[in-house]
A and B are shown apart, each in its own frame.
Chain A
Amino acid sequence: MITAKNVTKNFGHASVLKPLDFSLKPNTITALIGPNGSGKTTLLSILAQIIPSTTGDIQLDGQPIQAAHIGFLPQYPKFYPWMNGYEFLQFVGGLHRMSKQKLRTRIDEVLQFVGLADVGKKKITTYSGGMKQRLGIAQAILHEPKLLLLDEPVSALDPMGRRDMFQLFEQLKQTMTILYSTHILNDAEQLTDQLLFLKKGELIAQNTLEQIRAQYREEQFAITFLTSADATHYAAIFEGEVVGNTLFISKESGQTMPSLMRYFADERADVEKLEVRTTSLEEIFMKVMI
């Protein structure tokens, strides 16, 4: 269990992080969500102990957390281009004082895990962006940390790369606590146990995905017509909103699915689709942030 108590950060007079309190349960994945400039990278850097916090402390099972227990992947990991992947991991293992035999088996294991086993002996300059990101994961998990911190791990990847990355996270979750920042909400929706919403250095929501959904969810009817003229025509009757060919009617209007179906059937309107839509995480994000 990782707990952060009263963590703040000031740069000069500017307060970048307001007092933050949160905890991360073992074997869970938490997404840190917030717009650019909300303090995500600052918070991760403090957790990774690259920069000191102004106040507050971070504990692992009641003890102050140590660098040896942390794995960190920065947003743009920079490697020494004249090294190969294997040598870099050897270097990292040496810094973590891993024994020679242990390190050798662990490097093979980790390279296999991230799918770089074939190119381990190739210079890092020849790696593609996705491969560098994988090497970034490899260096972060080599020493089997308790807390894995990832700064925008998937933002720069293509959809395939993203899917692969999430498959890795799913497996890594078995042995460690993961905290990653993102602004791509579809990603956060996929496999996140907990969400932390950060806005201008303040933690404005902290909950599981289900709880946040329940808290902000709003259901509405969405009726898609063949023409937008129809949508506008019926919008006047139901006092709904029109987006393109679709008419949105709030559930508070007292309508039900059968009543709407009956109405439009009687009208012989050119309805293409009639559905109940729940608020997407994207819409919740906009609601929470604004």
Chain B
Amino acid sequence: MMQSLRALLYKEWLDIVRSYKLLWMPLLFIFLGISDPLTNYYMEDIFNAVGNMPEGFSMTFPDMTAETILLASTNQFQSIGLSVLVATTASMISRERQNGQGILLYVRPVSTVQIFLSKWIVASALAIFSSLVGYAASLYYTILLYGTVDAVGAIQMMATYSLWLMIVCAICLLCSAAFSTAVAICVAIVCVPIGVMVDQLFGTYWHYSPYKLATYGAEFLTKTSTYFMATCMLSISILIVCIVLGIFFTKKNRQRVKSEADR
């Protein structure tokens, strides 16, 4: 049992190493992480240099705190970061099934649980690692340019965001297990990045939703959110449901593996 899981994990690991995902995903999150502290800090200089503003033009910039900058970085991860994560994760199961690579895997004595979990573990680990280095880069410039933040709060923020990323990966893999690649990516994009947007627009009407995890996580820097524990419990339940459904659909569609994929 353990040995086949280890073989599957090693294969997924080789995949992200050889396809350079292990390199560019963290780089993307680092870029997203440093963009907010830097652009906000140098906004005035940037305007002066390239703005072509008329003589006598003046503008007041709000005083940003370290906490608002980190929240802005989180929002960057939530929009661009998640879109890229969804596009790469939502094809992990369906692609193997469609292009025929899966057949040499599905004839082995491996359980569907192992196949699904190996992909979820590696995808989540990569996403969490990327977000951690992204936050680290953001924190570095935020502390340098705006002052210190509460260390415990920062750790709580990153841990909460990691839980959210685990849910995102589970949703993507569930879509990939249930649908073909194209449909899976569409459904996952509606569920995750668009879901986040909808929650940001209309989210004032409810308090308990996994989409709010990232916001509640960032709130740890200033206060403790009243709704955090309940949201956390709800999110973990949703995570478990997604994993169970994902395993179910992987098993159900196992026989749909193409034996005569395009040559």
The answer to whether A and B come from one shared complex is yes
Q: Which residues of A contact B (CB under 8 A)?
A: 41, 45, 48-52, 66-68, 70, 72, 74-80, 82-83, 87, 90-97, 139, 151
A49-B107, A50-B257, A94-B3 known; A80+B10 contact, CB < 8 A:
no
Q: Are B260 and A95 in contact (CB under 8 A)?
A: no
- Determine how close the nearest CB of chain B comes to the CB of A66; give it in whole angstroms: 7
Apart from A50-B255, A74-B100, A95-B109: 10 A-B pairs, beta carbons within 8 A: A50-B259, A72-B107, A82-B18, A90-B7, A92-B104, A92-B108, A93-B7, A94-B10, A95-B7, A95-B105
Q: Are A82 and B15 in contact (CB under 8 A)?
A: yes
Cβ-closest 8 pairs across A and B:
A94-B7, A82-B18, A78-B100, A95-B108, A67-B109, A51-B255, A78-B101, A72-B107
Q: Are B104 and A79 in contact (CB under 8 A)?
A: yes
Q: Are A74 and B109 in contact (CB under 8 A)?
A: no
Complex Cα distance, B101 from A139, in Å, reads 13
Complex Cα distance, B263 from A76, in Å, reads 7
A-B contact pairs, 21 of them (CB 8 A): A41-B260, A49-B107, A50-B103, A50-B106, A50-B257, A52-B255, A68-B109, A70-B107, A72-B103, A76-B100, A76-B263, A77-B104, A78-B99, A78-B103, A79-B101, A80-B11, A80-B15, A91-B7, A94-B8, A97-B4, A97-B109
B19 at the interface (CB under 8 A from A): yes
B261 at the interface (CB under 8 A from A): yes
A66 CB contact (under 8 Å) in B4, B109, B254: B109
- Chain A contacts for B257, CB-based, 8 A: 50
A67 CB contact (under 8 Å) in B11, B104, B107, B260: B107
A94-B4, A95-B7, A97-B4 known; A82+B19 contact, CB < 8 A:
yes
Q: Are B107 and A76 in contact (CB under 8 A)?
A: no
- Determine how close the nearest CB of chain A comes to the CB of B134; give it in whole angstroms: 26
Dominant SS among interface residues on chain B: helix
- Chain A contacts for B263, CB-based, 8 A: 76
A52-B255, A91-B7, A94-B7 known; A67+B108 contact, CB < 8 A:
yes
Interface set, chain B 230-263, CB cutoff 8 A to A: 254-255, 257, 259-261, 263
Q: Are A78 and B10 in contact (CB under 8 A)?
A: no
Q: Which residues of B contact A (CB under 8 A)?
A: 3-4, 6-8, 10-11, 14-15, 18-19, 99-101, 103-110, 254-255, 257, 259-261, 263
Complex Cα distance, B101 from A151, in Å, reads 15
Q: Are A97 and B101 in contact (CB under 8 A)?
A: no
- Determine how close the nearest CB of chain B comes to the CB of A75; give it in whole angstroms: 6
Q: Are B259 and A45 in contact (CB under 8 A)?
A: yes
- Chain A contacts for B261, CB-based, 8 A: 76, 78
Complex Cα distance, B263 from A49, in Å, reads 23
Complex Cα distance, B7 from A45, in Å, reads 24
- Chain B contacts for A72, CB-based, 8 A: 103-104, 107
Smallest CB gap from B100: residue in A: A78
- Determine how close the nearest CB of chain A comes to the CB of B99; give it in whole angstroms: 6
Smallest CB gap from B101: residue in A: A78
Q: Are B108 and A76 in contact (CB under 8 A)?
A: no
Q: Are B103 and A97 in contact (CB under 8 A)?
A: no
Q: Are B104 and A139 in contact (CB under 8 A)?
A: yes
Q: Are A91 and B100 in contact (CB under 8 A)?
A: no
Smallest CB gap from A75: residue in B: B260
Smallest CB gap from B99: residue in A: A78
Smallest CB gap from A41: residue in B: B259
Complex Cα distance, B177 from A274, in Å, reads 66
